[in-house]
Structure formats: C-alpha cells, structure tokens
Amino acid sequence: MSNVKGDPEMTKAEHKFPCDQCGADMRFDPGTDRLICDFCGHTRAAEHQTTQALAIREWDYFEAVADHLPPIATEETRFTRCGNCGAEVELHETTHAAECPFCATPVVMDTGTHRHIKPQAVLPFVLSEKDARDAMTRWLGRLWFAPNGLQEYARKGRKMNGIYVPYWTYDADTKSKYIGERGDDYYVTKTVMKDGKSEEVQERHTRWRPASGRVARFFDDVLVLASKSLPKRYTDALEPWQLGELKPYSPDFLAGFQAEGYQIALDEGYAEAQQIMQAQIAQDIRRDIGGDHQRIHSVNTDYQDVTFKHVLLPVWMAAYKYRDKSYRFVVNGQTGKVQGERPWSAWKIAFAVVLGLIVAGVAAYIYQGK
C-alpha cells in the first residue's frame, strides 16, 4: 500500500506535558490515569480524563486502500529508521541521537517526516519499568546456561525502554459457501489368526458422502502485528492482549514513552488477517459438516463491512549485546509476560557435559563394584 494521502497542510500537533510546578517534562504513570514529574514528584490528571472521551473509531478498509480516508485519519510525524534492524521509532522533536531500543544500535534522528494512518486506540502501560525489569530478571534467572554477563545485566537493573508497538485490528462480516465430504466410521467384524488361534477383530472403515452448505461468522478485532522490528514468534508469545481495555488514542498515554511506526502496510496486514479468518472458517465448516471426518474441497467467502483500526500496544524492551550480537527481551506491558532471545554460555555447557560424564562414571563404578 502506498503512503496514505491526506491534507497536505496537515501536520502532527506538538504535544508537550510541562510540569505545573517546575516545568520539567511529565510522563504517563503506568497503572494510573495520571501524569507524573520525575523531577519534583508533582502529579496531575491525564488529559484524556479532563476531556470528553471519544468512541474508538474504525475506518472502512476498502476506502483506505483506495486512498479515500479523510484527512482526520492521518497524521505526519518524524520517525528515525535504524540502519541495523530497520525499526522506525518516533522520538521527541529535540532528540537528535539515541540508541535503538530494539537492537541497541546508535541511531541519528532523521530530518524528514512520514505521513501515516493515525492510531485510533491505545492499550496503556500497566506495569512500571521496575515491575517489567523484575519480571525479566526472574525470567533470566531461570536460564542456567545463559552467560554470567547476561544475568549480571539483569541484576544491574539497566533501564528498559517502554515502546508502543503498532498493530492493526480488522473486523469483517463473513458468509461462506462450501463443498466437501462427510466421513462416518463403521466397523466390520473380521477373523484373523493370532498365535495359531483365530480371533475376531473390529476393522474400521469410513463411508464418505458429499456435503455442502453455508456458514457465517462476524470477526471482531482480528489482531495483526504491524512491525518487523521484533521476531514475530516473540510478539505472538506475548499474547493474549486484553483488547477490551483499549482506550481512545490520546497523546498523554505516550508521554515519556516511544512509539514505533508501522512497517506492515494495511493491505499486507489484511492478507494475514484473512488467513486467520480462513482458519476459523474452516473449523466452522468442519463442525457444520459433522461426522467423524471431513474433507473441504472448496470455500467461497464473501467479506462484508470490512473495517480496521491502528492500535498501539505496550511493550517493555531491553537490548543486550553479547559478542557483537544483539539479543532482545520483551515484556508485555499489560500482563508482565516475558519473551526473548538468549546467548548460550559455551563454558557452562561444557561444564555440564563434563559433570554429566563424571556422574555417569561414578555411577558405573559403583554399579561394577557391587
């Protein structure tokens, strides 16, 4: 999908949250509905509390791919792209150099802007940075074969980065026609010889007959990752997300955090969402066919009222470099679930092997001495 068109005069509004007491930048306090100043400790209600809450809006998918979204649906932001992992991260306007939160590579802020579809909803951080670091430390502590340097990294309490990761959600009203077969098992008594004796056994057979019909299902919030910066197996393993806690997008949720720009285009995400829908539709068809076995020969699905929204989900992240390779750890900022990649300590593995051989040798010696 090409860049979304919009009002050429429209630019992203500048959102700053100065402290009423000292003027320092305030940040959103996870697990609360307030902003807090780390400099003087002053707090105040988040802006989304002091304004009338808007409903979370979804946009027509086919209007979007035809570049017919209204200007209000898009915004223009400054993102920097990491040359190592390709992540696009939105940084503060005054930030010109930083470390990529996804791979710990130094990056320099781009000067250009990027027009994209505006987030419609956000899942606010619930876990604080300390809670997330504690969860990661416990997880790393269970990795016996990890290098000591990696475990020391966790114990030192290096600050984690709070990132809002982009996702798409898709809704669709589907009606599917199918042609297939239903298989019903039946049993035939058969006499066989076993150990020189005849014995009756039940032999299973399947009787197949044609089957056809219709199934319908409404899909709500089919979730698709819109980032390429993290291994999908890790982000998928952070699920489930409690999407019922989504809030209408408000910049104050992002105060003190970073937000990644989406790298998976809307139509790419929809193709993946359709695969998820088709797998569920296949299950519905098998239930509709019934019997002991089912064969599905063809499915024709009509997708109606397809809508989408761009949402941001909270992830605490740490990047660790070990022998010139980046390793990443991610924590679900809502539930505390941890996933990550890890190096192996060669000497610990060798020690375990030698220890195992010693134990085996001692056991063999004791056994032979009996």
Measuring CA to CA, how many Å separate 220 from each of 58, 217, 237, 252?
11, 10, 20, 27
Confidence of residue 153 (pLDDT cuts 50, 70, 90): low
Average pLDDT of the chain to the nearest whole number: 80
* pLDDT number for residue 148: 57
CB-CB neighbours of 145 under 10 Å: 13
Please say whether the beta carbons of 328 and 342 come within 8 A.
no
Instruction: Evaluate the CA torsion angle 17, 21, 27, 33 in order and state its sign.
Output: negative
58 Cβ contact partners less than 8 Å away, ≥ 6 residues apart: 120, 171, 307, 308, 309
Q: Where are the domains of the chain?
A: 27-182+210-353
* pLDDT number for residue 347: 46
Confidence of residue 91 (pLDDT cuts 50, 70, 90): low
Confidence of residue 289 (pLDDT cuts 50, 70, 90): very high
Confidence of residue 52 (pLDDT cuts 50, 70, 90): very low
Task: Report the b/e string of 303-337 with b at 16+ CB within 10 A.
Answer: beebbbbbbbbbbbbbbbebeeebbbbbbbbbbbb
- Residue identified by tokens 């409903």 is 55
Name the token pair of 185.
Answer: 């098992």
Task: Please state, in angstroms and rounded to a whole number, the distance separating the CA atoms of residues 291 and 100.
Answer: 54
- pLDDT tens digits, one per residue of 224-283: 999 988 888 888 999 999 999 999 998 889 888 888 889 899 999 999 999 999 999 999
The top-scoring range by mean pLDDT among 28-37, 89-98, 144-153, 351-360 is: 28-37
Task: Please state, in angstroms and rounded to a whole number, the distance separating the CA atoms of residues 130 and 137.
Answer: 10
Please say whether the beta carbons of 68 and 54 come within 8 A.
no
147 has pLDDT over 90:
no
Interhelix angle 129-141/148-156, rounded to 10 degrees, is 160
The percent of residues above 70 in pLDDT, for the chain, comes to 70
* pLDDT number for residue 329: 84
More confident residue, 22 or 284: 284
- Name residue 20's beta-bridge partners: none
